[in-house]
Amino acid sequence: MSNPRTLKRQDLMSLERYHAERPAFRTRVLAHKSTRQVALGEHVTLLFEDALTIQYQVQEMLRVERIFEAEGIAEELATYTPMIPDGDNWKATMMIEYEDAEARRIALEQLEGIERAVWVRIGHGPAIMAIADEDLDRSRPGKTAAVHFLRFPLTPDQITDLKGGAPLSLGVEHPHYRFTVDELAAATRQSLLNDLA
């Protein structure tokens, strides 16, 4: 990949090449995602995105939609590349998951605003609250969406502290859903540190 913080057309495989390489590429991406996924309790998961996870998303969209024209590829890139972290932030897809449809419906009503209640903390510093859904509002009054896109902006001092070994915790603090991860697994922490300049 030309730059770990960007994704350009030349980084993508053609449909023919992707068809041939998809099984191996998918295995690689799933292993990579396993170090970038954090469960916040039983029903909320954060997948921290990066250039590789977004390349996989774009390749899959091109494959499913059979897109090979330059304009269509550019449109998919424009849709998904804003989810690649910029070196001073993390970006994550938040998924709210309930197997039972009725339980999911009730939960999404109760969890209105949860996307703005997710936080990360570096050391003993203040909680860094997620900035949610900057591209478009995914919720409506009285109900949240099952998927949200979050951004966690970090200051240079916070990045320095992290690289110096400061603890990294994260969680969600909502009236109907609270969960904290006091310390990330070492592999997840290192993967997230790789996102930072």
d(CA 117, CA 77): 29
- Estimate to the nearest angstrom the gap between the alpha carbon of 147 and the chain centroid: 10
Q: Pick the more confident residue, 2 or 193.
A: 193
Average pLDDT over every residue of 45-69: 93
Helix, strand, coil shares, percent, the chain, to 5: 40, 25, 35
Name residue 91's amino acid: K
110 and 68 together in one domain: no
131 and 156 together in one domain: yes
Q: Please answer whether residues 188 and 162 qualify as being in contact, where contact means their C-beta atoms are separated by less than 8 angstroms.
A: no
The boundaries of the domain holding residue 106 are 38-49+85-197
Task: Choose among 30, 10, 26: nearest CA to 18.
Answer: 26
164 and 190 together in one domain: yes
What is residue 143's predicted lDDT score, i.e. its pLDDT? 86
> Hey, which bits of 18-129 come out as E strands?
37-40, 44-48, 89-96, 118-122, 128-129
Alpha-carbon torsion 120, 127, 110, 134, what sign? negative
Q: Please answer whether residues 7 and 58 qualify as being in contact, where contact means their C-beta atoms are separated by less than 8 angstroms.
A: yes
Q: List the structure tokens of 90.
A: 């993390």
183 and 112 together in one domain: yes
Q: List the structure tokens of 149.
A: 């896109």
d(CA 92, CA 141): 23
pTM across the whole model: 0.89
Phi, psi of 168 (to 5 degrees): -125, 120
Q: Please answer whether residues 44 and 175 qualify as being in contact, where contact means their C-beta atoms are separated by less than 8 angstroms.
A: no
d(CA 40, CA 184): 11
Average pLDDT over every residue of 26-36: 96
What is residue 4's predicted lDDT score, i.e. its pLDDT? 62
Residue 2: pLDDT band with limits 50, 70, 90: very low
Q: Please answer whether residues 120 and 152 qualify as being in contact, where contact means their C-beta atoms are separated by less than 8 angstroms.
A: yes
For the chain, percent of residues with pLDDT exceeding 70: 95
CATH number at residue 153: 2.60.40
102 and 10 together in one domain: no
Q: Is the pLDDT of residue 73 over 80?
A: yes
Q: What is the mean pLDDT of the chain?
A: 91
Reported as type and span, the H/E element at residue 58 is helix 51-65
Phi, psi of 55 (to 5 degrees): -60, -45
76 and 137 together in one domain: no
108 and 184 together in one domain: yes
